[in-house]
Amino acid sequence: MALHLERSQELQQRAEALIPGGVDSPVRAFRAVGGHPPFVERAEGAYLYDADGNRYLDYFGSWGPMILGHAAPAVIEAVREAALRSTSFGASTAAEAELAELVTRAVPSIQKLRFVSSGTEAVMSAIRLARAFTGRNRIVKFEGCYHGHSDALLVKAGSGVATLGIPGSAGVPVETTQFTTALRYNDLDEVETLFARHPGEVACVILEPVVGNAGTILPEPGFLEGLREITRREGALLILDEVMTGFRLSLGGAQQIYGITPDLTTLGKIIGGGLPVGAFGGRAEIMDMLAPLGPVYQAGTLSGNPLAMAAGIAQLSALHAAGAEFYDRLAETTRQIADGVQEIAEELGVPLVTNRIGSMFTWFFRDSSDSDVVIDFDDAARSLTERFGVFHRAMLERGVWLPPSQYEAAFVSAAHGAAEVEATLAAAREALMVAQAA
């Protein structure tokens, strides 16, 4: 079964001459799974259409934002209307407070927030704020969590860093990461030890409350609660990076599901409806340290961009209106897909560990001698990435586009219905057999 990607390959060659690897974000190059990346021309609902006229069922949803499906009419109409009034002002608009209200209404721990243009910026700014508020330098993160590509956080990061198998990044001075400690996810003992070794030094603990960037990994019972307790006791801030989980796992994100109140939260992806947006927010006394009220500088020419705000307002309004049943339905569709393939794999004798929550999931390809749980990055890193690559290509040939790395979560949208579940299970049965035989 071969995909016709001639036009995509021409476009790739043209891009490679001018753009490193032909891509503006490394994982798009398909290095981890092999084969040629299709060039997308348009998308609608649950489907992507490439330059050669192929159609794919989309399981990465722009890496998270497209929870309503592609080209959702309410979002497109809002962006169209906003664009007619010009694309940027560099001055305040009513839309910023309107979107801020939609966010704070859903996430009560966010008393105040500020919009930026990416998740990277949101996290970078939250870290600066945490350091200023506590007067401390050290930051604690967890192996396999990805918090954007700012220097201090490129330590044992997940996502593309894990996909490419690099420990950090060239060009980051060791001095920049000397205050960053990466610990094992789901291991509170390591956190206690770190705090005991560095009393009064830790500004913040930051984590993905549910990891998406090492593949999907769930917090063990007590892990998030323990981190909340330790940080409070030690005078450090708890930052939940909900760039992926915010408005994805529930209207109030992972913090609502697990009942954890962080000091600061970072958001991105869904709150921009597919346009470039991030946000960081939390306790008002911390946020009020930002310029112009306080001494922490942070700014952005395109922050609060009117098109991005319009898309975000349309998308979050739709999610508010749809309520809890919307998330229940998404989770049920995801269960049918994720667990359905797990069952087929068991029937065929292909060792697979399925981690899922809400509309996020990962199929980890395992060695039969390995354990059947994935609760930290070391577990995830023992996955059979070559077998995943064969499976990925076989799925793509059958019209299903999974995230092109074992270390990325797959996303399900509201546009995925019964027909899509059925098509995915049928494709996966064949693709698993291909992967097994390879």
List the helix and strand counts (H, then E) for the chain: 14, 14
Q: Which amino acid is at 372?
A: D
Sorted by sequence, the CB contacts under 8 Å of residue 293 that are 6+ apart come out as none
User: Whole-number minimum distance, CB 269 to ligand PMP, in Å?
Assistant: 7
Residue with tokens 């989980």: 245
Indicate which single residue of 11, 100, 123, 124 sits in contact with ligand PMP (rule: CB under 6 A).
123
Selected range binding ligand PMP among 27-35, 78-86, 117-125, 300-308, rule: CB under 6 A? 117-125
On the question of a cis peptide bond just before residue 292, with omega within 30 degrees of 0, the verdict is yes
Q: Which is nearer to ligand PMP, 119 or 234 (CB)?
A: 119
Sorted by sequence, the CB contacts under 8 Å of residue 318 that are 6+ apart come out as 68, 72, 74, 75
Q: Which is nearer to ligand PMP, 3 or 124 (CB)?
A: 124
Query: Scanning residues 148 to 177, which ones bind ligand PMP (CB under 6 A)?
Result: 148, 159
How distant, in Å, are the alpha carbons of 149, 271, 299, 310 from that of 274? 19, 8, 21, 11
Sorted by sequence, the CB contacts under 8 Å of residue 385 that are 6+ apart come out as 32, 365, 406
List 269, 327, 376, 407, catalytic entry = 269
Query: Scanning residues 311 to 350, which ones bind ligand PMP (CB under 6 A)?
Result: none
Query: Scanning residues 413 to 432, which ones bind ligand PMP (CB under 6 A)?
Result: none
Q: Which amino acid is at 336?
A: Q
Indicate which single residue of 58, 143, 208, 376 sits in contact with ligand PMP (rule: CB under 6 A).
208
Is there binding between residue 241 and ligand PMP (CB under 6 A)? yes
Q: How many CA atoms lie within 13 A of 370 on its CB side?
A: 18
User: Whole-number minimum distance, CB 237 to ligand PMP, in Å?
Assistant: 17
User: Whole-number minimum distance, CB 249 to ligand PMP, in Å?
Assistant: 12
Contact 395, 380 (CB under 8 A): no
User: Whole-number minimum distance, CB 311 to ligand PMP, in Å?
Assistant: 14
List 47, 50, 56, 241, catalytic entry = 241
The mark string for 25-64 relative to ligand PMP (x by CB under 6 A, - otherwise) is --------------------------------------x-
Is there binding between residue 125 and ligand PMP (CB under 6 A)? no
Tell me which residue has its CB nearest to ligand PMP: 119
| CA–CA separation, 346 and 349 (whole Å) | 5
Contact 283, 293 (CB under 8 A): no
List 146, 185, 258, 327, catalytic entry = 146
Q: Which is nearer to ligand PMP, 172 or 322 (CB)?
A: 172
Number of neighbouring beta carbons within 10 Å of residue 328: 12
Q: Which amino acid is at 200?
A: G
Tell me how far apart the terminal alpha carbons of the chain are, to the nearest angstrom: 15
Let me know if 56 is a catalytic residue: no
User: Whole-number minimum distance, CB 123 to ligand PMP, in Å?
Assistant: 5
Indicate which single residue of 54, 118, 125, 177 sits in contact with ligand PMP (rule: CB under 6 A).
118
E strands, 159-233, in order: 180-183, 202-207
Let me know if 112 is a catalytic residue: no
Let me know if 52 is a catalytic residue: no
67 closest CA partner among 280, 420, 318? 318
How distant, in Å, are the alpha carbons of 122, 134, 386 from that of 151? 14, 20, 30
Indicate which single residue of 66, 224, 243, 400 sits in contact with ligand PMP (rule: CB under 6 A).
243
User: Whole-number minimum distance, CB 145 to ligand PMP, in Å?
Assistant: 7
Indicate which single residue of 120, 354, 362, 405 sits in contact with ligand PMP (rule: CB under 6 A).
120
Pairing between β-strand 278-282 and β-strand 112-116 as defined by DSSP bridges: antiparallel
Query: Scanning residues 210 to 229, which ones bind ligand PMP (CB under 6 A)?
Result: 212-213
Give the bridge partners for 356, in sequence order: 361
| CA–CA separation, 155 and 172 (whole Å) | 10
Pairing between β-strand 202-207 and β-strand 138-142 as defined by DSSP bridges: parallel
The mark string for 277-316 relative to ligand PMP (x by CB under 6 A, - otherwise) is -x--------------------------------------
Selected range binding ligand PMP among 45-53, 119-127, 301-309, 383-391, rule: CB under 6 A? 119-127
Q: Which is nearer to ligand PMP, 54 or 305 (CB)?
A: 305
Is there binding between residue 141 and ligand PMP (CB under 6 A)? no
Contact set with ligand PMP (CB under 6 A): 63, 118-120, 123, 146-148, 159, 208, 212-213, 241, 243-244, 268, 278
Active site residues: 146, 241, 269
